[in-house]
Amino acid sequence: MKKVISLYHKGNAYGEIDAHIDLKQKLVKENETKNEPAINPTHYTANGKECIVEMYEKFGKEAVINFCELNAYKYRYRKDFKGQSEADAKKALWYEKLAVILRNGENIETALEIVRN
């Protein structure tokens, strides 16, 4: 596999991008086959705390709600173009649910517990 150096590399930039996309899709599939949802891969907790929890602590509830709503929009917007329509629709729904639960007054830990069940 090619190493992704830069989008503007003088070589075959599109080939490098394709190699990066292929690797990302492979990792998502591996996570799904390990019963580990693509929405919560292990690298999201690489620092000992889930990234979205740190975002909540650092930027606040409203920022995380906005992040969730924008992520849901992004996944719905591009779902038909990536070849992963079902996975992207599930991700969008996950973020929409999390935003609604947070808007209804729950803290991030409780909201994540609810949305995952």
Q: Are residues 53 and 31 in the same domain?
A: no
Same domain, 85 and 57: yes
Q: Average the pLDDT over 68-84 and give the result.
A: 91
C-alpha to C-alpha distance for 82 and 42, rounded to whole angstroms: 23
pLDDT at residue 103 in the model: 97
Query: 38 with 32: CB under 8 angstroms?
Result: yes
Q: Is 6 exposed, middle or buried (0-12, 13-18, 19+ CB in 10 A)?
A: exposed
Angle at 40 between CA 34 and CA 44, to 5 degrees: 115
Residues 16 and 44 in one domain: no
- CA-only gyration radius of the chain, Å: 16
Whether the pLDDT of residue 21 is over 70: the answer is: no
8 and 65 belong to one structural domain: no
> What's the pLDDT at 41?
67
Same domain, 44 and 20: no
User: Looking at the structure, do residues 101 and 72 belong to the same domain, yes or no?
Assistant: yes
Number of domains the chain is built from: 2
Domain co-membership, 62 together with 11 = no
Domain identity same for 24 and 45: no
Looking at per-residue pLDDT, the higher value among 50 and 18 belongs to 50
Contact, 17 vs 6, CB < 8 A? no
Task: Indicate if 14 and 62 belong to the same structural domain.
Answer: no
Does residue 83 carry a pLDDT above 70? yes
Q: What is the pTM of this model?
A: 0.64
Domain match, 28 and 62 both: no
Supply the pLDDT for residue 10: 42
Range of the domain at 22: 1-36
Please tell me whether residues 95 and 43 are part of one structural domain. Answer: yes
Specify the pLDDT at position 68: 97
Whether residues 102 and 50 fall in one domain? yes
